[in-house]
A and B are shown apart, each in its own frame.
Chain A
Amino acid sequence: MRVMVMKGHERNITRVLFNRDGDLLFSAASDKTPTVWDTETGERLGTYNGHSGSITDMSVSWNSNRLVTASGDCQVKLWKVQTGEELLTYTHSGPVRGAQWAEGGERFATVCDPFVSHNAKIQVFYAPEDADPESLSPTPEVLIEIRNREEKPTKVYWTQFNEDLLVAYENGWVRKYDPKTGEERTGEGSSAKLHEEKINAITWDKQKICFITASNDYRSCLVDAKTLKVLRVYQTDRPVNGAVISPIKDHVLLGGGQEAQSVTTTRGQAGKFETRFFHSIYEEEFGRVKGHFGPITAVDISPDGLAFVSGSFDGYVRLHFFDDDYLFMRDEVPEEY
């Protein structure tokens, strides 16, 4: 396997992300500068300078024109991808944990933590691409306050056709909200407790039919987005920080590892800082990719399924290009069964 190691961050990686075409790779870390790389050459194309806190999440719009970044400095920033120009800053009431573009890139949603007297908030901002940047409003279109201080949202996502906001919580729940009114959905398939512990990340398949969760309870779940029913469970023995579904194979990739705080007490090898490959249907692990020397904090797979990227607590981003023996690997069960 061909590997590119990208050293562009000074602190632990928090998010890695391919754009829709797979030619750009975005990485964010606990340092303040999200970075964009050329996937083919590994060249660093640029950074987005302006935040004063660690980056917790980011999202690139469908046509790769604009980027939103969420940060611990209570700000969300909207950037022009090509130039690195900062278009607007959205100041929040607490550290921001998640930001996500809606389909079509007209709106994005954010979640922020409770802070002093402020409750946790989920907000939707209207930021059409063709509008004059001057006319964009930093006030949210929709604002949902989470009054229950025990419930902390960790990430926010949009479901198929922007029907719902899907919010993941620290206690392992996911809930759906109406993105227009901000009301919590009720009834079948509107909320579910998927994990015993914090949900670190969620990623979708291409058509947003299923999503995969990554949680501190050592598991990942493949979930039917419509009913929120758990279809498959992938069990590991370390916290899972990121998980993705392969677009071309019945595989899922899980990245994780022993918590960074207890790493020093064990040998590097015992920390299991590996990307694990599971068969998505049989739930069986069949391979691991080593290389990092800290827990893996984020993974993504290129839209063509030919490469995957992992970011780690060690500050490195590793971009792996699959070999033919992986790409031409057949399903262990012959088709006639």
Chain B
Amino acid sequence: MCTVCCHLFPQIIARLPPPSPLRNLSAYTREQPTLMAGEDYEHHYSDVPIDEELKGYISEGRTDWEEPVYEPDFSTAIVVDNLPKVSREKYDRLMVFVRKIYDQVGKIAEDGLQMPLDEATGMTLGFAFINFLTRDSAEKAIAATNNWNLDKAHALKVNSYVDLVKTTTHPETYTPEPARPLTTVPGLYDWLKDAQYRDQFVVRHGRDTEVYWAEPGGTPELVYGGEREKAMGQGRYWCDQYVTWSKTGAYLLTYHRQGVALWGGPKFEKVARLAHHGVALAQFSNTDRYLVTYSYPDDGPGHVVVWDVERSISIQEQVALRSWPVEPFGKGNHFKWSHDDKYIAVGKSKYLRNPQAAQAGLDESGGGGAGHVKQGSTGAGVGEGGPEDGEGQISVFEAPSMELLDRKSIRAEGLRGFDWCPKDNLIAYWAPERQQQPARVVLVELPSKKEVRRKPLFYVEDCELTWQNEGEYLCAQVTHKKRQSKKKVSLELFRVKEAGIALEMVEIDATPVRDFAWEPAGHRFAIIHGDDANSYRFSVSFYSMIHPTTGQKEVTLLYRLEGQKARPVNKLLWSPNGSIIVLAKLAEASSLEFYDVDSHSTLAKRDDLSRIDYLKWDPSGRYLTDAIQQPMGNSYYKYSYDNGFRMWTFQGTLIAHVEKNQFYMFQWRPRPPSLLTAEQQRKVKKDLRKYERRFDKEDREKEMNKKKEEWRKKGARRAEFRAFYATRLAEFQARKAELVALQKGYDDEELENYEIRVVTRRMVPLGDPELAG
């Protein structure tokens, strides 16, 4: 019995001749008993006589069976509708014809083509089932032949069998979902109201996940460390995977095998649980309204899910986007949200670099949440021409409908990299040279999709786009192909806020450029450059987009630390408040230098640090933390030593050093963008003295109270220890004669057994006449 037909069209079964069943379907439905979850395997097979000879090989009474799970897989089957209805005579010809079409797409399973007949009329019913060997061919067949005109009267309607079942079994009447009970969401942003305006951070070490307040005095104060979960007993703990903060800091996301969970509020209560089996990476949108989760290695449909965070539902499921260009993980898909979460842009090109590759280590954006994701290749090199050379597009979808803006993607042939402006709906992308076309950096405005600026470039080997965090400037760091002896680097600097988007170019002679960083909310940028392979010292240059004396909009070199002042440095990290930059060397032997860019002076320097693999400012710019971490799930790791983190003030004073075995991650809780206007912020800065006194006093009091509390605890321990020791000492004294007897009458506490020497020391000031005499 053909189950497909039974399932779909029960009314016609009676009239159909019994066609041979689709092979792979029958396997699961006819002879074999289907096991229900939890049913005992033995139950089915215990009555099967076991060959005497085999008996010795079968272990009896084993209970650790893996339950075989039968999942009928219909994803290789498609339904071709709107075929001509033909009589029995023409049946074979049509079969051959249809087979000819679909053989081109992929291999059809044996007996995989079925065209049912209507018994009564002897005519075909106008549709056929085709079962391919692979899901891939089925998908290709749908894409290739749906709406294909067989002839004038017959445009084929091709659907996957799975979809068809879904549609036909869908209830006709709408039954509303029962309203969910209203739950009070804990104050997600309450932590911002902290009386001392402290910042929070999360650490993962061993099996512990702990959220702390950063304290000006050093030792952090625990906020929540999974006590609730531990109290549940049975060896439970909060999270055994990585965790990450959302973009505005409202949620803490924990990874679990079954999906992700969001926690928030003062005591980190569970806010939502989003089921996504095998989730490997979760990315919040910029305002925390949406969340994208990816699973790995599963790359089938549903491996990328977009969630509405507040309602904790998957919006992608709701709109059931056919056109959602989901590509297997790591094969060149970029999901990027606009600053206001109105749009999500998806880049598609075989050249795009894997977005996750950059996430390991020190990357800003991804939150390091998914270091456990296996990294794909970082994209193909240039010049590697191929049939798909021209491919490349940016699809912009409107949230939350997830509909393609204007139903058309932005064509971006050869797309290599793109990014949203952090403050406007503006996308910058670049593509390399191809077929007489120069390489280019393009700025596209959304939603108009108008190209507002295009800069052609020549001899480009690589290009890196970096937005200044206020979206005022964009830097395209262009590495040119080697022409003479050296690779040249030029910085193409866009003044985005200006009419027409003015562009300036700075050529860097001493290459390569090792790091580039914009001053947050400022007009300056810093680069590390130069090639000094012998001493590993590099130049650091500071530029301003505005001339420091004339105030003209003109890119100016402020100064350069070179020659004697060149430093071993490979990473630049501006303070979020600007002015101060950390010149760091992150290597086996790391160093940190706190440098004041305004006064050209070093505030503090440490060059005796071991391998640092995480370095980040807190959101307020008060502290810098570095951490030595080890990857999770790695039982033997070279750097299991020295794990932990250090906290420095912005002047470079070490205030805390916490060492933990198996330290996996450190992450500052981000703050949402400030609600104050620029004017208000200026005012606060002006009145800083006033606030300073208040906070200083509070800090001191708090520190003192903490100290007293600590002393009380320690004092109690000391008293308890001393009492114990006194008892034991009394016991000893009572039996001391025994020891004296063993030492033949010698008592080493007897003073007469000692030669007593009195040493008097006196401090004499230099030049004392008594000393001179």
* A interface residues (Cβ-Cβ under 8 A, vs B): 20, 62-63, 102-104, 106, 160-162, 207, 209-210, 224, 226, 231-232, 237-238, 250, 258, 265-267, 269-270, 281-282, 331-334, 337
Q: Given A209-B732, A267-B588, A281-B721, A337 and B743 touching (CB < 8 A)?
A: no
Q: Which of chain A's residues has its CB closest to B732's CB?
A: A207
B641–A237 CB distance below 8 A: yes
Contacts of A62 in B (CB 8 A): 743
Identify which of residues 589-644 in chain B touch chain A, using a CB-to-CB cut-off of 8 Å.
Answer: 589, 608, 610, 638, 641-642
Q: How many residues of B contact A (CB 8 A)?
A: 29
- Measured CA separation A251–B717 after assembly (Å): 15
Instruction: Name the one of B642, B718, B725 contacting A237, with C-beta atoms under 8 angstroms.
Output: B642
Contact among A161, A224, A331 for B742, CB-based, below 8 A: A161
Instruction: Contact check, B735 vs A282: say whether CB atoms are below 8 A apart.
Output: no
Q: Are B732 and A258 in contact (CB under 8 A)?
A: no
- Tell me, yes or no, whether B483 is within 8 Å of chain A by CB: no
Residue of B nearest to A279 (CB): B714
User: Are B661 and A237 neighbours in the complex by a CB distance under 8 Å?
Assistant: yes
| CB pair B728 A333 closer than 8 Å | no
B472-509 interface bits toward A, Cβ cutoff 8 Å, 1 = contact, 0 = none: 00000000000000000000000000000000000000
Q: Are B610 and A104 in contact (CB under 8 A)?
A: no
Q: How far is the CB of A215 from chain B (nearest CB, A)?
A: 15
Q: How far is the CA of A331 from the CA of B715 in the complex (A)?
A: 10
Question: With A258-B641, A337-B711 given, is the CB distance from A231 to B721 under 8 Å?
Answer: yes
Q: Is the CB of B714 within 8 A of A270?
A: no
Q: Which of A102, A104, A265, A334 contacts B711 (CB 8 A)?
A: A334
B738 and A161 form a contact (CB under 8 A): yes
Q: Mark B705-721, 1 if CB is under 8 A from A, else 0.
A: 00000011011011001
B744 lies within 8 A of chain A by Cβ: yes
- Contact: A104 with B744, CB < 8 Å? yes
Residues of A within 8 A of B610 (CB): 267, 269-270
The answer to whether B742 touches A162, judged by C-beta atoms less than 8 angstroms apart, is: yes
Q: Which residue of B lies closest to A209 (CB)?
A: B728
- With a cutoff of 8 Å between Cβ atoms, the chain B residues found around residue A282 in the complex are 714, 717-718
Count how many pairs of residues, one from A and one from B, have CB atoms less than 8 Å apart in the complex.
Answer: 73
Can you list 13 A-B contacts (CB < 8 A)?
Answer: A20-B748, A62-B743, A102-B742, A104-B739, A162-B742, A209-B728, A224-B724, A224-B728, A237-B659, A238-B641, A269-B608, A269-B610, A333-B715
A189 to nearest B CB, angstroms?
13
Q: How far does the alpha carbon of A224 sit from the alpha carbon of B727 in the complex, in Å? A: 12
Known: A104-B742, A160-B732. A337 touches B725 (CB 8 A): no
Q: B185 contacts the other chain (Cβ, under 8 Å)?
A: no
What separation, in Å, do the CA atoms of A102 and B738 have in the docked complex? 13
Tell me the minimal C-beta distance from B207 to chain A in angstroms. 17
Give the residue name and chain of the A residue nearest to B742 (CB): A104
B729 adjacent to chain A (CB < 8 Å): yes
Q: Which residues of A contact B748 (CB under 8 A)?
A: 20
Instruction: Judge whether B641 and A103 touch: CB under 8 Å.
Output: no
Cβ-closest 4 pairs across A and B: A337-B715, A104-B742, A209-B728, A337-B711
Contacts of A269 in B (CB 8 A): 608, 610
Give the CA-CA distance A269 to B724 in the complex, in Å: 39
B712 contacts across to A, CB distance below 8 A: 337
Q: Which residues of A contact B721 (CB under 8 A)?
A: 231-232, 281
**Bound-state Cα–Cα, A291 to B742, Å:** 40
User: Does A103 contact B732, Cβ atoms closer than 8 Å?
Assistant: no
CB B91 to nearest CB in A, in angstroms, measures 76
Which residues of chain A come closer than 8 Å to B724, judged between CB atoms?
A: 224, 231
B708: min CB distance to chain A, Å: 8
Whether A209 contacts B729 by the Cβ 8 Å rule is: yes
Residue of chain A at shortest CB distance from B754: A21
Interchain nearest-CB distance for A248 vs B (Å):
14
